[in-house]
Structure 1
Amino acid sequence: MRHIAIIGSGPAGYYTAEACQKQFGSDVAIDMIDRLPVPYGLIRFGVAPDHQSIKAVSRRYEQVALSENVRFVGNVSVGDQVTIPELLALYDAVILATGAPVDRPLGIPGDDLPGVVGSAAFVGWYNGHPDFAELDPPLDVSAAAVIGNGNVALDVTRILAKAPAEFVGSDIVAHAFDALGNSAIKQVTVVGRRGPHQIQMTPKELGELGHLQRAVPHVDTADLPPEADDAALEPGERKSVSHLRSFVSLAQDKDVAIDFDFFARPVAIEGDGKAERLIVERTRPIGEGMVEGTGETYAIPAGLIIACIGYRTPPIPGVPYDERAGRFANTEGRVPVDSGNLYAVGWARRGPTGTIGTNRPDGYMIAETIAADHPASAGKDGGAGLDALLATRGADKVSFADWQRIEAAESARARDGAPREKFVVVADMLAARDE
């Protein structure tokens, strides 16, 4: 029997487990190890709570999880309760599928002021991630700035701008729902250092902004390139830019204004002991999607500043790390360790790029790589060895059946119109498991 450990139970982890099942058939036993008692990673904690159709992909992962040769080992922290060298000794292959859940820092003066948060923290807060449940972002201010021109920036902006009634059917957690319902924010400025042709926003997500109950987006016509230039774009990009063009003429007659500020590069954050304004430098295009600073600066009022500028994979002791790229060091998924059986997949391998579905071919590639590197099992102890080791360390493992009990409890406590009310404290998850 070939034994494989996958660290992380998000999309990359489950697609890789599925790929290993198809690659090795019944001659494989897969342990999916996660530091939290709940699976699905980015699907649970990263996908916007009002995008339930995207979250439905978890049903596919559930089919993998319920297979006889796949086991969920939750509430186990790799690097603390069990080390990478120990796992490498127990399994034929160890695959890092931890994603990139850490915010990339802004790196400008004032980015440590209260009121400045990263998107991983803010998204984690409204999605119920235990690490960010106590974030308490300042929503008693009149203006917010969202830095970034990708879909995460759109999600954050939409969540800030929505009326409470628009969250029906979502699984936004209660503490965020209540806080956002009492928000004083009337102005959200979406800041990007480049122009409309360089946005990484998909048409569906961008189009949603034009149909909000209490908020309306606006784009300055001076920021838009000549309409004829749109012909050079890919169809999806062209549709996104067409949405931006439509925002120019929308009536500004709603309570919350969403302003897109293109060609604006953040250079500092100022305030008296807290964030009060974002200082940006006007930029200008210099060809091939590049920009340069003009030297002109101005202030954008903002008591809440959310940076949506990318993510990093957190290091794990014993794993070579690429500091510049913010991910594990690897060559085509192979992580350089003496034992030769450590791999990385998904964002932990390539950085935070691509969609959820991009992780599927990535997982199949890693399964094929493992088969080529290790044609036969080395006869290691696998999950039995892990269980014995964790027992000596008092680990309180959570199985997939345990997770199903937690999931049922979350469904039972949901407010009207919501699919679930997530537990945001690990101890509460474990208590629900034990009821």
Structure 2
Amino acid sequence: MSDQPGTASPLKVAIVGAGPAGFYAAGQLLAAKDVEVEITLLDRLPVPFGLVRFGVAPDHPKIKSVTRIYEKTAAKPGFRFFGNVEVGRDVSHAELLERHHAVIYTTGASHDRRLGIPGEDLPGSHAATEFVAWYNGHPDHRDAEFDLSVKRAVVIGNGNVAVDVARMLGLSADELRETDTADHAIAALAESGIEEIVMVGRRGLAQAAFTNPELRELGEMADCDIVVDPAEVALDEHSRTWLERDGADVREKRNVEIATEYSTRTPDGKKRRIVLRFLASPVRILGEDKVEGIELVRNELVADDDGWLSARPTEETEVIECGLVLRSIGYRGTKLADVPFDDQRATIRNVAGRVIDENTDEQVPGVYTAGWIKRGPSGIIGTNKKCAQGTVDALLEDVAAGALPAPSEDASDLGELLAERQPDLIDWAAWQRIDAHEQALGEPQGRPRVKLTRIEEMVEAARAAAGAA
């Protein structure tokens, strides 16, 4: 093939999705030895950082500081960013391939998994993904509405997102005002009438997916008690065996210890309370015109021949009165135009990051994937670093083997092409102006930033600052 990278020209790679996986892949490629690399990073939104900006809880600023690493990547020679660009609308998959040796899709998994039970679509029943995006100021969900006048909310799920959602509902107004929570969410949450948040997990405490720091934070809130019935933390024989197995996760043992300590506490009579429930599954959301309650079935743990535990429903059921249900049972990726997709796994079809054709099961030359859209929604922010490295290693192996298709068009004209189709194109310098504007808004309030939550506001801030300069 002509125009092979490392010989007559640099390796040109487009990365679609400017979240953690996209930035890690960009940084790893730009640090690659023996090959010059040019990166074009694109995102549907004007602002980068994806899950770090729109998924991480606002009261976790230390986690958000990972963006400093991404900023160092953006400052390297060979990097360029185009925001407010949607692949499939402003530029096609084929046009990216024509201008690059490779395209890596790192678009994440932003849609919720459904419960599939009666009443799930009643007003007052929402995906936790929507709630998280709302309080984090995502433009797609900025105008979502949640009835926070109710007395009790039920959060379905036992992962970190479920814990974040429960905690956000329990934070005091003063705690919220120190964060970069979107202003519209601060106003609504400060006036919330919610007194109790019940978090329900399908399996037992020993199998819960949340991490130790997330669970520990629930017991350290200014105006919210943590309540755990001692019966909820009593381990059955299967759970005790699970914790004693070879290679048992220390995280699971520590979760049991933390929750067991919670079960010994006497509530302080704070404004709100978070109640932890385990071994229960929703079977029906109740109500006529809105959510009025939820029916749960009690589960028991059963072990298969390999010792893996699953939850099996019993005959015991109960109804919890509530006015708000937030479903947090996982995320799903969505299909991209002209990119092979695995509907069952809700990920791009791939083997070790190499995208695989749906019809031939052969590798699609020059097309790769990383992050949640590659492996599914698992792990923490840092997990994407290793995931991206695996994809980058595969790509560089293909470079060494001469297996990448040569670009048929000049990538240097992509900026002009995008600007013609998207007049509100945002480059890295424009994002930096948005960033500075948000930080300046937050500074007088002692907050890290005040987020702009509408695309037109972001574009206006970028233009106004450019004009002032």
- Normalised by the length of structure 1, the TM-score is 0.96
Alpha-carbon distance, 1:385 to partner: 3.6
Alpha-carbon distance, 1:364 to partner: 1.6
| CA offsets 1:292-311 (integer angstroms, 9 cap, x no match) | 11122211112111111110
Where in structure 1 do 4 or more consecutive aligned residues deviate above 6 Å? Answer: none
CA distance in 1, matches of 2:348, 2:423: 26
Tell me whether 1:256 sits opposite 2:272 in the alignment.
yes
Answer yes or no: is the 8 Å Cα contact 2:291–2:325 preserved in 1. Answer: yes
Question: Is the deviation greater in 388-397 or in 29-38?
Answer: 388-397
Tell me whether 1:184 sits opposite 2:193 in the alignment.
yes
Q: Secondary structure at the match of 1:211?
A: coil
Answer yes or no: is the 8 Å Cα contact 1:270–1:279 preserved in 2. Answer: yes
Percentage of identical aligned residues: 40
For 1:271, the equivalent position in structure 2 comes to: 287
For 2:7, the equivalent position in structure 1 comes to: none
Query: In structure 2, what residue type is equivalent to 1:202?
Result: T
Which of 369, 380, 392 is the matching residue for 1:355?
Answer: 380
Q: Which runs of 5+ in 2 are unaligned?
A: 1-9, 358-362, 465-469
**1:40-51 maps to which residues of 2 (within 5 A)?**
40-51=49-60
Q: Secondary structure at the match of 2:25?
A: helix
For 2:397, the equivalent position in structure 1 comes to: 372
Tell me whether 1:384 sits opposite 2:399 in the alignment.
no
Tell me whether 1:393 sits opposite 2:421 in the alignment.
yes
Alpha-carbon distance, 1:383 to partner: 3.4
Which of 433, 438, 460 is the matching residue for 1:410?
Answer: 438
Q: Secondary structure at the match of 2:31?
A: helix
CA distance in 2, matches of 1:197, 1:269: 27
**1:84-233 maps to which residues of 2 (within 5 A)?**
84-226=93-235, 229=240, 233=248
CA distance in 2, matches of 1:292, 1:398: 51
| CA offsets 1:136-172 (integer angstroms, 9 cap, x no match) | 2110101100000011111000000011112253111
CA distance in 2, matches of 1:380, 1:68: 23
**1:293-308 maps to which residues of 2 (within 5 A)?**
293-308=313-328
Alpha-carbon distance, 1:314 to partner: 1.5
Query: In structure 1, what residue type is equivalent to 2:387?
Result: D
Alpha-carbon distance, 1:291 to partner: 1.6
CA distance in 2, matches of 1:13, 1:418: 27
Q: Secondary structure at the match of 1:123?
A: helix
Q: Secondary structure at the match of 1:201?
A: coil
For 2:65, the equivalent position in structure 1 comes to: 56
**Structure 1 residues 41 and 55, CA, compared in 2 at 3 Å: closer, same or farther?**
same
Alpha-carbon distance, 1:344 to partner: 0.7
**Structure 1 residues 277 and 42, CA, compared in 2 at 3 Å: closer, same or farther?**
same
Query: In structure 2, what residue type is equivalent to 1:249?
Result: T
Q: Secondary structure at the match of 1:413?
A: helix
Which of 399, 405, 426 is the matching residue for 2:455?
Answer: 426
Answer yes or no: is the 8 Å Cα contact 1:23–1:368 preserved in 2. Answer: no
For 1:235, the equivalent position in structure 2 comes to: 250
Answer yes or no: is the 8 Å Cα contact 1:3–1:380 preserved in 2. Answer: no
Alpha-carbon distance, 1:386 to partner: 2.0
**Structure 1 residues 423 and 282, CA, compared in 2 at 3 Å: closer, same or farther?**
same
Alpha-carbon distance, 1:388 to partner: 3.9
Query: In structure 1, what residue type is equivalent to 2:311?
Result: V
For 2:48, the equivalent position in structure 1 comes to: 39
Answer yes or no: is the 8 Å Cα contact 2:97–2:407 preserved in 1. Answer: no
Query: In structure 1, what residue type is equivalent to 2:448?
Result: P
CA distance in 2, matches of 1:421, 1:137: 21
CA distance in 2, matches of 1:208, 1:326: 32
Alpha-carbon distance, 1:379 to partner: 4.8
CA distance in 2, matches of 1:321, 1:188: 37
Q: Secondary structure at the match of 1:98?
A: coil
- Normalised by the length of structure 2, the TM-score is 0.89
Q: Secondary structure at the match of 1:23?
A: coil
| CA offsets 1:39-97 (integer angstroms, 9 cap, x no match) | 00000000000000000000000000111211111010011111112211221000000
CA distance in 2, matches of 1:70, 1:319: 24
Query: In structure 2, what residue type is equivalent to 1:434?
Result: R
